[in-house]
Amino acid sequence: MSNNLLKGKRGIIFGALNEQSIAWKVAERAHEEGAEFILTNAPIAMRMGEINALAEKTGSKIIPADATSVEDLEKLITESMEVLGGKLDFILHSIGMSVNVRKGNHYTNENYDYTVKGFDVSALSFHKLLQSAMKLDALNDWGSVVALTYIAAQRIFPDYNDMADNKSYLESIARSFGYHYGLAKKVRVNTISQSPTMTTAGSGVKGFNQFINYSELMSPLGNAKAEDCANYCIAMFSDLTRYVTMQNLYHDGGFSNTGVTQAVMDRFTEI
């Protein structure tokens, strides 16, 4: 169903890897709502994924870019404006990676070279992206930038490891850069804290299946699906949310405000 919420708007979507990706769902919904956009991911991720099918489906061009490289980002943004025929209205930052998680290193025994790499990809890339966009004056007034995050930035989830630190920094950037970008160009910058979602990245976390089940029981509305997160992103890109900025917005079925649920209590009663 389309309401033409993004008709005439242009953007860049980072991170679509396959049909499980939230970024993939955002691209599909943005297309349905009338937007034109560039798809981008790291060259290695693009070789692993199926992004060509998404590009064909949405009539989009793919421009590979390493989000940790300012040179790549500036080239991506400049080319995007050329291809789309004007300045941008929205950007989705949906990328994250922890080498320590991949390698099975415990949080108390990090390889710091891995830590720095994950921090650069998952968090510092967001600052580099915003700084590049501002330098190139790439976003229209009242443009919207959204990054995806997780509640482990606020609370301890042991197996989320150093990604929790990365997400904390990501959310801080949204507040700090959102202030400066808002003053300069009325651009709004927000993060969406999504329920645990069965994506390629999410499923790499130890104990993920068990945690999804726990989160489902701890959320009055249940876990928010990727498609619903995409809808929230579309709302944030639209003109309906023009005065929302510098926020960390929970999209988690109520998990973030729930101490315990009867369903979880009942599980302990069974023991």
- 101-157 tens-digit pLDDT: 999 999 999 999 999 999 999 999 999 999 999 999 999 999 999 999 999 999 999
Catalytic residues: 150, 160
* Res 173 pLDDT > 80: yes
Mean per-residue pLDDT, 48-74: 94
pTM reported for the whole predicted model: 0.95
**pLDDT at residue number 267:** 87
* Token output for 105: 């290193």
Q: Which residues contact 116 (CB under 8 A, 6 or more apart)?
A: none
95 in a labelled binding site:
yes
* Res 200 pLDDT > 80: no
- Of all residues in the chain, the percent with pLDDT exceeding 90 is 87
Supply the angle between the helices 125-135 and 163-185 in degrees, to the nearest 10: 20
Mean per-residue pLDDT, 72-88: 98
User: How far apart are alpha carbons 64 and 218 in whole angstroms?
Assistant: 39
**pLDDT at residue number 206:** 64
The H or E element that residue 113 is part of is helix 112-119
User: How far apart are alpha carbons 173 and 122 in whole angstroms?
Assistant: 12
Q: Which residues contact 71 (CB under 8 A, 6 or more apart)?
A: none
* Res 201 pLDDT > 70: no
Domains and their CATH numbers in the chain = 10-270 (3.40.50.720)
167 in a labelled binding site:
yes
Confidence class of residue 67 from pLDDT cuts 50, 70 and 90? very high
Mean per-residue pLDDT, 80-89: 98
Length of the chain: 271
22 in a labelled binding site:
yes
* Res 205 pLDDT > 70: no
Residue 236 and residue 268 in contact, taking contact as beta carbons nearer than 8 Å: no
**pLDDT at residue number 263:** 92
